[in-house]
Amino acid sequence: MKNIFGYFTLGYIKWRTGRIYKWIVFKKIFPSAYKMAMKQPVNNKKVVFVEVRSLVITNSFKVMYDKLKNEYEFDIHTHFLGETRVKKRQYIKNCVNMLKDIATAKYVFLNDASNCIGSIKKLRPETQIIQLWHGCGAFKKFGLSTADLIFGEDRKEKLKYPFYKNNTTVTVSSPEVVWAYEEAMDFENNHDVVKPLGISRTDVFFDKSFIQKAFDKLYKVVPQAKGKKVILYAPTFRGRVASARTPNQLNLGMFEDHFGDDYVLLFKHHPFVKKIPVISDEFAQFAFDVTQTLDIEDLLCTADICITDYSSLVFEYSLFEKPIIFYAYDLENYCDWRGFYYDYYEISPGPVFSTNKEMIYYIENLDTRFDKVKIKDFRKKFMRSCDGNSTDRILRYIFDKDKSEQKI
């Protein structure tokens, strides 16, 4: 690929990094790719799924993808941009190919932020960009909500290179959190975009066959879990996406001493984390890292207790109305770094601890300390639109929106 649309060679782009690189790519190359492809008419049967970071179809898409593939007559395309996972040269190439494709698509599905699609100044009106998102609720801040915080860029930079501008529909898990997504995605003056239709990926949590298969997978990967209860430790990452690191403060020795006879402990680190801590062989019958071997959906279905910190998975896990523990030993630093949409202590549907000893004592006394009513109230407030029918509801909405009569 010697030259892109007569602007600059990729060698030049690679040489001139920073602001110049960003301006060339997002203000010239990407818009030109889309504009050239717009010469062709829109294909009303074309559906495009865009994975911004992943190189495979993730579970955020799977329910919707299978639904459209198996029950509708669509021409389905997929694109894997590989942001932060492939070299810049390949990423630019992936984005250009994707933009050419969506220029003639009727429906485009996203599950993450994309300043590549956001770089298009004027999207053709026939195309719908549906943001399914990858999480539920509204916990830690993102998007414009982080402007001028340590985690985020300044507001001017975020508005210059927007991530969500061309989204025509954003689906969220409850009416309660609409305001947070409007703030984060800069839709505070446009209340027709963010809709509490539910999150497509949560439909599996209401599927008994899916839950049974999740247990089958667990026992195949961790046979030691048979006949025991499961503690899931699933922390979010620390730092920035490109250099994400995981916390390593859980005391395996203490946990095995107290729970080794009755429980197994499963570690599921955030997918952004590249360097995962190794579990010592001395805990080989108690603690297991399943980051690469079991999906988070399978783990949420099978866990008896969930320990996390600032992860939005607590919203999905609340559907099962089981105990959640918040291990927030670095809460003050994290709050300064990224911040939350609600007061952390008030929103948390379970106890907040800063030491291993506190967590162990709580688990030992679950019968008297677990407040199920608090979990139920949390679920009702933040997961009201997730009832096992979210995918169908989303499709009805987007088809009605353009009056299309899609054949089932």
Which tens digit of pLDDT belongs to each residue from 336-351? 667 889 999 999 999 9
Residue 50 pairs with which residues in a beta bridge?
79, 110
Cβ–Cβ under 8 Å, residues 204 and 385:
no
Q: What is the dihedral of CA 170, 172, 175, 177, to 10 degrees?
A: -100
Residue 247 within any structural domain of the chain: yes
Query: 392 and 375, same structural domain?
Result: no
- Give me the mean pLDDT over the 201-219 stretch: 98
Q: Give the CA distances from residue 324 to residues 89, 305, 308, 348, 371, in Å, rounded to whole numbers and listed in that order.
A: 43, 6, 8, 9, 10
Q: Based on the domain organization, do 345 and 395 belong to the same domain?
A: no
Residue 404 — very low, low, confident or very high, per pLDDT cuts 50/70/90? Answer: low
| Structure tokens given for 126 | 């026939």
Residues spanned by the domain of 232: 207-382
- Residue 215 lies inside a defined structural domain of this protein: yes
In a domain, 150, yes or no: no
Q: How far apart are CA 265 and CA 237, in angstroms?
A: 19
- On whether both 307 and 392 belong to a single domain, the answer is no
Q: Do residues 233 and 86 share a domain?
A: no
For 315, counting Cβ atoms within 10 Å of its Cβ (0-12 exposed, 13-18 middle, 19+ buried), the class is buried
**For the whole model, what pTM was predicted?**
0.89
158 inside domain: no
| Average pLDDT rounded to a whole number, residues 28-45 | 96
Tell me whether residue 172 is in a domain: no
Least confident span in 269-273, 297-301, 352-356, 388-392: 269-273
Q: Are residues 225 and 260 in the same domain?
A: yes
**pLDDT bracket for residue 1 (50, 70, 90):** very low
Averaged pLDDT, 157-164 = 91
- pLDDT attached to residue 154: 77
pLDDT exceeds cutoff 90 at 284:
yes
Looking at the fold, whether 395 and 330 belong to one and the same domain comes out as: no
pLDDT for 17: 57
| Total of domains in the chain | 2
How far apart, in whole angstroms, are the C-alpha atoms of residue 30 and residue 289?
40
Q: Per mean pLDDT, which range of 135-144, 244-253, 296-305 is the poorest?
A: 244-253
Residue 395 and residue 333 in one domain? no
pLDDT in tens, 58-86: 999 999 999 999 999 999 999 999 998 89
* CA torsion angle 197 407 66 114 (round to 10): -60
pLDDT of residue 350: 96
304 within some domain: yes
Whether 131 and 211 map to the same domain: the answer is no
Answer whether residue 191 is part of any domain.
no
Question: Measured between alpha carbons, how far apart are the two ends of the chain, in Å?
Answer: 41
pLDDT of residue 392: 97
Q: Is it the case that residue 251 has pLDDT exceeding 60? A: yes
pLDDT at 140: 87
260 has pLDDT over 80: yes
Q: For position 286, which CATH number holds?
A: 3.40.50.12580
- The average pLDDT across 319-348 equals 89
- Whether residue 125 is found in the same domain as residue 250: no
Give mean pLDDT, residues 383-391: 98
Residue 95 lies in a domain: yes
Q: What is the pLDDT of residue 252?
A: 94
| CB 326 within 8 Å of CB 381 | no
pLDDT of residue 367: 94
Domain co-membership, 313 together with 297: yes
Residue that wins the pLDDT comparison between 265 and 20: 265
Q: Are residues 218 and 81 in the same domain?
A: no
CB atoms near residue 239 (< 10 Å): 13
The per-residue pLDDT for 406 is 56
**Average predicted confidence (pLDDT) for the chain:** 91
Spatial distance between the Cα atoms of 215 and 65, rounded to a whole number of angstroms: 24
Kindly tell me if the per-residue pLDDT of 7 is higher than 90.
no
